[in-house]
């Protein structure tokens, strides 16, 4: 059936999912929320906005969860959006035109403009941050535990960066550092599984280069104070990734336990 199914994977998003759903209502023919065991009002709010809620455990596999979501859709087009994202009017209007034309030989990448503490992050590699979000349902699936890859048989097209998703990646500094800890651990494990290792030089050189690239080469300084702060913390993100990789094979044994 022609039309677009909007898919949202959510868990305990009662503060954010209402605004997310409101932003897609103009173009969505069907909205499905895959709920990973929420204990708040996520499901109730979603249903009140006209979404279909399907309980399904994530089990640590984001790609499998997205594939499950695709399989629940009844429309010919899929649009993925996260609860911390909002579709803008220009983007919504373009999605309606694409679905109406129904050219299923293309999949569409959408720009994201992230905001943190009320400020748009337009530099430092934050924007346009293109991600595939609109694509035909038939034959599509997703792999990847954390950073999923959407598999399809289409040519990929980037929509204009003026037609973007608004993205709120961090709710506060606690959320930022929790994600930093989570993703650096996953990055270290992934590197280890690929046969990579780390040295003291990696712990020094890579963080310096990463923060310099974000702040200077990618223009993070143009975002003012928050640009400096995020580039500085990117140093620690990169360092933590290599430190964790270095220590993955080592046991944290206390000296007294050897006696």
HEC secondary structure over the chain: CCCEEEEEEECCCCCCHHHHHHHHCCCCCEEEEEECCCCCCHHHHHHHCCCEEEECCCCCCHHHHHHHHHHHCCCCEEEECCCCEEECHHHHHHHHHHHHHCCCCEEEEEEEEEEECCEEECCCCCCCCCEEEEEECCCCEEECCCCCEEECCCEEEECCCCCEEEECCCCCHHHHHHHHHHHHHHHHHHHHHCCCCCCHHHHHHHHHHHHHHHHHHCCHHHHHHHHHHHHHHHHHHHHHHHHHHHHCCCCCCCHHHHC
Judge contact between 5 and 62, C-beta under 8 A.
Answer: no
The pLDDT of residue 61 is 87
Q: For the chain, which domains are there?
A: 4-167 (3.90.550.10), 173-247 (no CATH)
Give the angle subtended at the CA of 227 by the CAs of 222 and 231, to the nearest 5°.
Answer: 125
Token digits for 176? 């930022």
The pLDDT of residue 2 is 87
Judge contact between 76 and 136, C-beta under 8 A.
Answer: yes
Q: Is the pLDDT of residue 257 over 80?
A: no
Question: Once rounded to an integer, what is the mean pLDDT over residues 47-51?
Answer: 96
Q: Is the pLDDT of residue 259 over 70?
A: no
Q: Distance between CA atoms of 74 and 71, rounded to whole angstroms?
A: 8
Instruction: Write phi, then psi, for 96 (nearest 5 degrees).
Output: -60, -40
Instruction: Write phi, then psi, for 86 (nearest 5 degrees).
Output: -135, 135
Least confident of 51-55, 140-144, 250-254: 250-254
Question: Please, what is the end-to-end C-alpha distance for the chain in angstroms?
Answer: 71
Indicate the pairing of strand 77-80 with strand 4-10: parallel
Give the tens place of pLDDT for each residue, 72-118.
999 999 999 999 999 999 999 999 999 999 999 999 999 999 999 99
């Amino acid at each position: 059936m022609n039309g677009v199914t909007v898919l949202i994977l959510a868990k305990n998003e009662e503060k954010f999912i209402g605004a997310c759903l409101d932003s897609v209502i103009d173009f969505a023919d069907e909205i499905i929320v895959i709920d990973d065991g929420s204990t708040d009002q996520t499901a109730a709010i979603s249903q009140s906005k006209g979404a279909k809620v399907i309980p399904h455990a994530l089990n640590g596999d984001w790609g499998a969860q997205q594939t499950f979501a695709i399989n629940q859709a009844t429309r010919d087009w899929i649009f993925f959006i996260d609860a911390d994202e909002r579709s803008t009017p220009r983007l919504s209007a373009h999605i309606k035109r694409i679905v109406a034309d129904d050219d299923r030989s293309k999949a569409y990448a959408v720009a994201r403009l992230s905001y943190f503490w009320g400020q748009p992050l337009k530099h430092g590699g934050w924007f346009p941050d293109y991600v595939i979000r609109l694509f035909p349902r038939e034959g599509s699936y997703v792999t990847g535990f954390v950073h999923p890859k959407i598999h399809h048989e289409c040519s990929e097209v980037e929509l204009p960066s003026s037609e973007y998703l608004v993205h709120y990646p961090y709710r506060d500094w606690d959320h930022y550092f929790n994600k930093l800890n989570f993703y650096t651990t996953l990055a270290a494990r992934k590197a280890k599984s690929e046969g990579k290792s780390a040295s003291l030089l990696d712990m020094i050189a890579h963080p310096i280069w990463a923060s310099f690239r974000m702040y200077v080469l990618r223009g993070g300084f143009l975002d003012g104070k928050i640009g400096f702060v995020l580039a500085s913390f990117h140093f620690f993100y990169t360092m933590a990734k290599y430190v964790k990789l270095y220590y993955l094979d080592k046991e944290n044994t206390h000296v007294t336990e050897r006696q």
